[in-house]
């Protein structure tokens, strides 16, 4: 499927070495543009920052603006601070950056009676595998890897919004097969600095024809010498998934392009033998930047909200990715889910570090920037959020039944769903008489891990005490189930249209879920890059809306789980876990 590529536009960067701009068929030096604002600790620069020049134009898909009225959002590190003037043995401080890089190898299933454990590799963004508490390995990655986290529904706009961990992506849904214009489109991303080390990388900037990441030329290249280049990339399509080292290539005039990354010993041997072709033996990706996890949409206000785990903030933009704002900067280190209640002007969020669910008003946040008093910074409106629930272990998914005044919260650490009775918010007096403020309504089986939750509105006039319709939905990560039950947690059962093991394409590793009561559907995002459209009224209707699970790790896991189901073994235990 050919998706429209969003021009991220030229990315501003401040460096004290040669900064070259790559255009079609030409290479030229470029003056240093605007500096990026710094929000995260980084080494002190050893050279003065040049005066800023022109601001970066706004485009859609949007690359974050730098130093504008709405900034800084997502761009937390000045490249000058990350990589100051090249002096000393380690000019960019790479040696001081802690990282655990596990060995990469193809999936080797654990022995019988030993648990196969799969989880996100925090160092690379890929998928890791371990046998119980044994050695950990990273599964091979490809240039097309996509992992889905949060999902949000804009029913009025006919679209889903999903976070890939590196970008915010829009997916239009229609009854017809999705064409190029309806396919996933990345709206918002940050930037990455990619350090390439090797030999024969050009004796001068003029010899460097291109530096490409996933086949896309870098917008800015920092040339140091023939053994090192830095690529600064801000294209949302490139950044929507992790960047494996073999997806980076360097082309030098008269010498061709580099092959796959070569082990350093072999690279030294090739150079000693007189090989003039570009040789790359090390690719390092700066992971500081934009890493969205939870996502929510305000259909009435036409805005997106997401949590950025890199900057530990909650951020917002219009639905087209423009007008970027920071909502919260305090106490939002690990926000797992977001929920917008447009009618009551509340943003709810679950925060795993504190074990709390909080809410804040959106009105102050939506005041146009131009109406604010000149010279005064407006504090983010969610830094003093109200605590709704506390004392939870790893709170995750959130769902709101506004008509009945109930908030449903997944407690991931104990496999529970809680129902919280909200005060005010338009509920009729006496409607909740006899109902506790907080009630643990569902308990999953031992070792079953819950993630997302969704709820349908009640029928008109239905008394919540006697409401036994199956309108509560949730996802079970490691049982590969999408379940439904009553708002009291009773009558739990699988959604009848969910493809299970034994069919060609079962649901695997379901994570996020949203419900569309107008169409009688739920949409489920899989961690491994798929989105399902499932009917809760028609047992025969299930459709893969998006399928990006053909890359290496996902295909191996799918094959492995399907083979287990085929033989029907019960001596093999598999655990799919969330670590974010």
- Per-residue pLDDT tens, the chain, 580 aa: give them: 333 333 333 222 222 233 333 333 333 333 332 222 223 333 333 343 333 333 333 222 322 222 222 222 222 333 333 333 333 343 334 334 333 456 777 788 888 888 888 887 766 667 888 887 677 888 877 777 788 889 999 988 889 999 988 889 999 876 544 444 556 888 888 778 899 999 999 999 989 999 999 888 887 888 999 999 998 887 877 887 778 888 899 999 999 999 889 999 999 999 999 999 999 999 998 766 688 999 999 988 899 999 998 889 999 999 988 888 889 999 999 999 999 998 888 999 999 999 999 999 886 555 444 444 444 445 567 888 999 999 999 999 999 999 888 999 999 888 999 999 986 443 444 566 667 788 889 998 877 889 999 999 998 878 888 889 999 999 998 788 899 999 998 999 999 998 875 566 788 889 999 999 999 999 999 988 889 999 999 998 999 888 877 666 777 887 787 777 665 555 567 777 766 5
Tokens standing for residue 360? 């804040």
Residue 171 maps to a domain? no
Residue 4 maps to a domain? no
Q: Are residues 346 and 368 in the same domain?
A: yes
Give Cα 270 distance to the centre of its chain.
39
Q: Residue 397: which of 521, 250, 293, 552 has the closest Cα? A: 293
Give Cα 331 distance to the centre of its chain.
20
Q: Are residues 315 and 264 in the same domain?
A: no
Residue 440 maps to a domain? yes
Q: Are residues 451 and 574 in the same domain?
A: no
Q: Give the whole-angstrom CA distance, residue 363 versus residue 367.
A: 7
Q: Give the whole-angstrom CA distance, residue 130 versus residue 274.
A: 42
Structural element, H or E, at residue 565: helix 552-567
DSSP 104: B
Q: Are residues 213 and 71 in the same domain?
A: yes
Domain end marker among 285, 316, 342: 285
Cα 62-67-69 angle, rounded to 5 deg: 80
Residue 57 maps to a domain? yes
Q: What is the predicted pLDDT for the residue at 3?
A: 35
Q: What is the predicted pLDDT for the residue at 365?
A: 53
**Span between the terminal Cα atoms of the chain, in Å:** 30
Q: Are residues 566 and 493 in the same domain?
A: no
Residue 44 maps to a domain? yes
Q: Are residues 266 and 400 in the same domain?
A: no
Q: Are residues 279 and 328 in the same domain?
A: no
Residue 56, CA distances (Å) to 68, 132, 283, 289 in order: 9, 49, 28, 18
Write the DSSP string, 361-372: ESTTTTS-GGGS
Residue 173 maps to a domain? no
Give the residue numbers spanning the domain of 276: 18-97+188-285
Q: Residue 305: which of 289, 281, 326 has the closest Cα? A: 326
Question: CA Rg, the chain, in Å?
Answer: 25
Residue 154 maps to a domain? no
Please report where in the chains the tokens 């070569």 appear, as a residue: 262
DSSP 65: P
Q: Are residues 426 and 511 in the same domain?
A: yes
The CATH number for 422's domain is 2.120.10.30
Q: Residue 296: which of 156, 420, 398, 410 has the closest Cα? A: 398
| Helix (H/G/I), strand (E/B), else coil: 207 | helix
Structural element, H or E, at residue 494: strand 493-494
Domain end marker among 285, 318, 344: 285
Q: Give the whole-angstrom CA distance, residue 176 versus residue 184.
A: 15
Cα 89-90-96 angle, rounded to 5 deg: 135
Q: Give the whole-angstrom CA distance, residue 379 versus residue 401.
A: 30
Q: Are residues 545 and 561 in the same domain?
A: no
**Contact of 129 with 116, CB cutoff 8 Å:** yes
Whole-structure pTM value:
0.75
Residue 562, CA distances (Å) to 148, 151, 249, 477 in order: 21, 26, 36, 16
Please report where in the chains the tokens 């000019």 appear, as a residue: 91
Residue 265, CA distances (Å) to 223, 262, 397 in order: 24, 8, 48
Q: Are residues 545 and 568 in the same domain?
A: no
Q: Residue 546: which of 241, 177, 295, 214 has the closest Cα? A: 177
Q: Are residues 86 and 193 in the same domain?
A: yes
Residue 27 maps to a domain? yes
Q: Give the whole-angstrom CA distance, residue 302 versus residue 561.
A: 40
How many structural domains comprise the chain?
4
Q: What is the predicted pLDDT for the residue at 426?
A: 38
Q: Residue 62: which of 186, 188, 167 has the closest Cα? A: 188
Q: Are residues 443 and 332 in the same domain?
A: no
Q: What is the predicted pLDDT for the residue at 431?
A: 60
């Amino acid at each position: 499927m050919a998706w429209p590529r969003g021009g991220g536009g030229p990315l501003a960067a401040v460096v004290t070495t040669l900064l070259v701009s790559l255009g079609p068929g030409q290479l030229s030096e470029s003056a240093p543009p605007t500096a990026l604002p710094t929000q995260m600790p980084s080494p002190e620069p050893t050279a003065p920052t040049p005066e800023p020049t022109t601001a970066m134009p706004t485009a859609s898909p949007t690359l974050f603006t730098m130093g504008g009225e709405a900034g800084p959002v997502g761009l937390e590190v000045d490249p000058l601070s990350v990589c100051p003037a090249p002096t000393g043995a380690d000019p960019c401080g790479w040696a001081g950056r802690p990282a655990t890089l596990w060995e990469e190898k193809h999936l080797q299933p654990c022995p019988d009676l030993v648990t196969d454990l799969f989880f996100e590799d925090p160092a690379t963004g890929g998928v890791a595998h371990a046998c119980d508490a044994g050695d950990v390995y990273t599964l091979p990655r490809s240039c097309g890897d996509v992992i889905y986290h949060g999902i949000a529904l804009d029913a009025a706009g006919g679209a889903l919004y999903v976070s890939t961990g590196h970008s915010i992506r829009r997916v239009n849904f229609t009854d017809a097969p999705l064409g190029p214009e309806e396919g996933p489109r990345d709206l918002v991303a940050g930037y990455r600095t990619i350090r390439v080390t090797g030999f024969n990388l050009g004796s001068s900037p003029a010899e460097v024809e291109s530096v490409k990441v996933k086949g896309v030329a870098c917008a800015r290249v920092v040339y140091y010498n023939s053994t090192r280049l830095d690529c600064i990339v801000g294209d949302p399509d490139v950044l929507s998934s992790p960047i494996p080292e073999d997806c980076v290539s360097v082309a030098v005039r008269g010498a061709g392009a580099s092959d796959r990354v070569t082990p350093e010993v072999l690279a030294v041997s090739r150079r000693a033998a007189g090989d003039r072709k570009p040789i790359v033996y090390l690719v390092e990706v700066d992971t500081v930047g934009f890493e969205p996890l939870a996502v929510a949409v305000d259909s009435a206000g036409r805005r997106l909200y997401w949590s950025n785990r890199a900057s530990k903030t909650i951020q917002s933009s219009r639905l087209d990715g423009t007008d970027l704002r920071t909502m919260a900067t305090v106490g939002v280190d690990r926000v797992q889910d977001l929920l917008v209640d447009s009618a009551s002007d509340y943003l709810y969020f679950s925060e795993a570090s504190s074990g709390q669910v909080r809410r804040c008003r959106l009105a102050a946040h939506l005041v146009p920037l131009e109406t604010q008093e000149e010279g005064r910074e407006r504090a983010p409106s969610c830094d003093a959020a109200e605590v709704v629930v506390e004392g939870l272990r790893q709170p995750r998914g959130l769902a709101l039944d506004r008509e009945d005044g109930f908030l449903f919260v997944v407690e991931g650490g104990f496999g529970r769903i809680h129902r919280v009775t909200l005060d005010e918010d338009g509920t009729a007096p006496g409607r909740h008489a006899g109902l506790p403020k907080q009630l643990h309504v569902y308990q999953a089986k031992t070792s079953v891990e819950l993630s997302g939750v969704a709820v349908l509105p009640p029928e008109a006039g239905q008394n919540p005490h006697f409401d036994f319709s199956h309108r509560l939905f949730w996802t079970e990560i490691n049982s590969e189930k999408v379940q439904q039950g009553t708002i009291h947690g009773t009558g739990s059962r699988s959604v009848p249209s969910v493809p299970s093991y034994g069919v060609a394409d079962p649901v695997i590793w379901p994570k996020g879920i949203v419900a569309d009561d107008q169409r009688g559907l739920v949409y489920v995002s899989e961690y491994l890059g798929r989105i399902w459209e499932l009917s809760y009224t028609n047992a025969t209707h299930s459709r893969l809306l998006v399928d990006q699970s053909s890359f290496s790790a996902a295909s191996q896991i799918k094959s492995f789980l399907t083979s287990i189901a085929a033989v029907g073994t019960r001596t093999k235990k598999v655990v799919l876990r969330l670590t974010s």
